[in-house]
A = this chain, B = another copy of it.
Amino acid sequence: MQQQISVITLGVSDLARSRRFYVEGFGWRPVFENAEIIFYQMNGFVLGTWLETALAADTERERLSRPGAFSLAHNAPSREDVQPTMNRLLQFGGHLLKSPVEPPHGGFSGYVCDPDEHAWEIAWNPFWAIDPQGHVTFGT
């Protein structure tokens, strides 16, 4: 099968609160929105924020838990961009999980969670290339 993920969907309990984090915090622009879901066109795939009750029903699961065993990362263009990006996310409904540190393998990163407890790593990773369209390539 093609090595491809088409959508990441995050369950949210309050769509307006989540929208504030992504639109005002990250500064991202929705490509579609209605009363239960917002889609953002990302770098080669789509991010969806969907009412958690609807996501649970669609997956035929009775219960979804938080915080889930996953994280997302956004790579900043420079080390100096990490803290200001985190500050902005905290200003628009995020919560601090971990202040940025320099990990053993290099770079600089910290964690914020969105208003629904979904973890976001904000990282500067000098080893991974990012093209102008935002496509990220693994590197060492």
Give the B-binding residues of A (Cβ under 8 A): 1-12, 26-29, 31-32, 39-47, 52, 55-56, 58-61, 63-77, 85, 97-98, 111, 116, 118-119, 121, 123, 125, 128, 130, 133-138, 140
Contact = CB atoms under 8 A, between A and B. Distances in A.
Given A11-B69, A44-B43, A67-B64, A6 B52 contact: no
A73 B130 contact: no
A46 to B, nearest CB: 5
Contacts of A136: 4, 6-7, 44-46
Nearest to A85: B1
Given A5-B47, A5-B72, 10 more contacts: A1-B28, A2-B43, A3-B29, A4-B136, A9-B72, A32-B140, A41-B137, A55-B69, A58-B98, A61-B67
Contacts of A63: 67
B46 A45 contact: no
Contacts of A52: 69
A13 to B, nearest CB: 9
